[in-house]
């Protein structure tokens, strides 16, 4: 395993940080690979999800109890997830980890790839029968193995910070769409919430320059007063949002997982969830295989991931595009769609299952018997 950034497990979590919404299937997967016990104490269950569109009637409400489960998902500060993953990696006895170390070059071999890696001690070469590109949106592996990618710039900037609402979030996650982009509030430990506020790119500098009162006034205007007055905004982190989709998932003796394979709009909270399902599916196929880089195995991986990947990407992209389009004619249609999703039980069930991360042919590690 090669990672450019040095492990940071000892750092104290701060008030300000990105929070991940982990679907129920993801938590099952993290439990199966021994990560969740290291993270659970910092996680907050999501028991309800509430989706609305500013200026339109109708809402979609999802409720864990109605689906017969204790939680639809959990929120976890990204830094806590990173720390839990590192603790679990420390327990692995057959893994060679190079960090900080940067993959600098790749050379194809008849039976795999030769990787040139720069470490603090110098350059090392490693031969592998299967190269796994888990190196994020601007994947070096993707480019070097010759897989092209489609790019779409949402022209939006997303601000993430922690806020404390006047009323208890009672484990409810909110998503609210509007002409100028979506806003979400995720329940966190105590009374805190993780705020995700999207603004059109041309307004990003002005929003970044707002003082705390100005920023809270904007958040309040965009989110509304469902949780009363918002206060104590943490430090804001801006992210430029883009969608990057690899045109193929595999190349000879190489495979992509996570953001290297697909980077989606964060508002649907799907990126990590999807990436973990990539990794667990690959692990399932490799376990016991004589040749982990065999062409047939990689073809099976791509086929197994297709429905989940295509469906989740289409849903994330469609949601942001459709729900934020200002066309007045779309308003009533959106309201009807929301009412249908809220009131038609089979549709609710389908939506809830997909929201919980059960879609396509999931890896065995995430599965559970649902009521």
Residues of this chain that interact with ligand FAD (CB under 6 A) are 2-5, 18, 20-21, 102-103, 134-136, 140, 158, 160, 239, 258-260, 266, 269-273, 275
Between 257 and 297, CB nearer to ligand FAD: 257
The CA distance from 339 to 333, in Å, is 10
Between 208 and 336, CB nearer to ligand FAD: 208
Residues listed for the chain: 371
Between 81 and 341, CB nearer to ligand FAD: 81
Phi, psi of 347 (to 5 degrees): -70, -40
What stretches of 70-121 adopt beta strand conformation (E)? 73-77, 101-109, 112-119
The least distance separating ligand FAD from the CB of residue 357, rounded to whole angstroms, comes to 9
The least distance separating ligand FAD from the CB of residue 217, rounded to whole angstroms, comes to 22
The least distance separating ligand FAD from the CB of residue 145, rounded to whole angstroms, comes to 13
The least distance separating ligand FAD from the CB of residue 255, rounded to whole angstroms, comes to 13
The least distance separating ligand FAD from the CB of residue 274, rounded to whole angstroms, comes to 7
The least distance separating ligand FAD from the CB of residue 328, rounded to whole angstroms, comes to 30
What stretches of 13-165 adopt beta strand conformation (E)? 19-23, 44-46, 48-53, 59-63, 73-77, 101-109, 112-119, 122-128, 131-133, 149-165
Between 25 and 227, CB nearer to ligand FAD: 25
The CA distance from 217 to 210, in Å, is 10
Between 64 and 103, CB nearer to ligand FAD: 103
Nearest to 173 by CA among 160, 164, 184, 189: 184
Between 283 and 330, CB nearer to ligand FAD: 283
* Exposure string over 252-275, b if 16+ CB within 10 A, otherwise e: ebbbbbbbbbbbbbbbbbbbbbbb
The CA distance from 60 to 335, in Å, is 10
User: What is the SS3 assignment for 247?
Assistant: coil
Residue 269, preceding peptide bond in cis (omega within 30° of 0): no
The least distance separating ligand FAD from the CB of residue 311, rounded to whole angstroms, comes to 15
The least distance separating ligand FAD from the CB of residue 246, rounded to whole angstroms, comes to 12
Between 196 and 334, CB nearer to ligand FAD: 196
Between 154 and 323, CB nearer to ligand FAD: 154
| Backbone angle region of 37, left / alpha / beta, with phi > 0 → left and psi within -120 to 50 → alpha | alpha
Greatest CA separation for the chain: 63
Between 67 and 156, CB nearer to ligand FAD: 156
Structure tokens at 103: 């993959």
Exposed/middle/buried for 131, CB within 10 Å: 0-12, 13-18, 19+? buried
The least distance separating ligand FAD from the CB of residue 340, rounded to whole angstroms, comes to 26
């Amino acid at each position: 395993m090669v990672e450019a950034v040095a492990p940071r497990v000892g750092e104290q979590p701060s008030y300000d940080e990105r929070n991940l919404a982990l679907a129920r299937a993801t938590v099952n997967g993290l439990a199966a690979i021994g990560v969740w016990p290291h993270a659970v104490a910092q996680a907050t269950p999501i028991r309800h999800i509430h989706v609305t569109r500013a200026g339109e009637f109708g809402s979609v409400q999802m409720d864990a109890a109605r689906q017969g489960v204790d939680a639809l998902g959990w929120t976890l500060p990204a830094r806590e997830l990173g720390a839990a993953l590192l603790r679990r990696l420390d327990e692995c006895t057959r893994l060679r980890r190079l960090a900080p170390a940067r993959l600098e070059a790749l050379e194809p071999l008849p039976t795999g790839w030769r990787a040139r890696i720069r470490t603090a001690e110098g350059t090392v070469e490693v031969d592998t029968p299967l190269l796994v590109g888990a190196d994020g949106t601007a994947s070096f592996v993707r480019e070097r193995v010759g897989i092209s990618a489609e790019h779409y710039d949402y022209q939006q900037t997303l601000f993430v910070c922690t806020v404390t609402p006047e009323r208890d979030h009672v484990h409810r996650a909110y998503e609210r769409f509007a002409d100028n982009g979506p806003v979400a509030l995720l329940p966190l430990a105590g009374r805190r919430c993780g705020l995700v506020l999207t603004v059109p790119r041309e307004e990003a500098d002005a929003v970044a320059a707002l003082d705390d009162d100005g920023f809270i006034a904007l958040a309040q205007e965009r989110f509304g007063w469902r949780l009363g007055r918002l206060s104590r905004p943490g430090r804001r982190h801006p992210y430029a949002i883009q969608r990057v989709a690899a045109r193929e998932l595999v190349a000879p003796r190489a495979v992509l997982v996570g953001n290297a394979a697909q980077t989606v709009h964060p508002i649907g909270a799907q990126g990590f969830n999807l990436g973990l399902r990539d990794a667990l599916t690959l692990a399932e196929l490799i376990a016991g295989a004589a040749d982990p880089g065999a062409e047939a195995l990689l073809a099976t991986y791509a086929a197994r991931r297709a429905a989940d990947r295509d469906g989740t990407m289409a849903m994330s992209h469609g949601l942001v595009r459709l729900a934020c389009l200002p066309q007045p004619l779309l308003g009533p249609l959106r309201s009807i769609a929301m009412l249908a999703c809220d009131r038609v039980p089979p549709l609710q069930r389908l939506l809830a299952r997909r929201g919980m991360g059960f879609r396509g042919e999931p890896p065995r590690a995430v599965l559970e018997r649902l009521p």
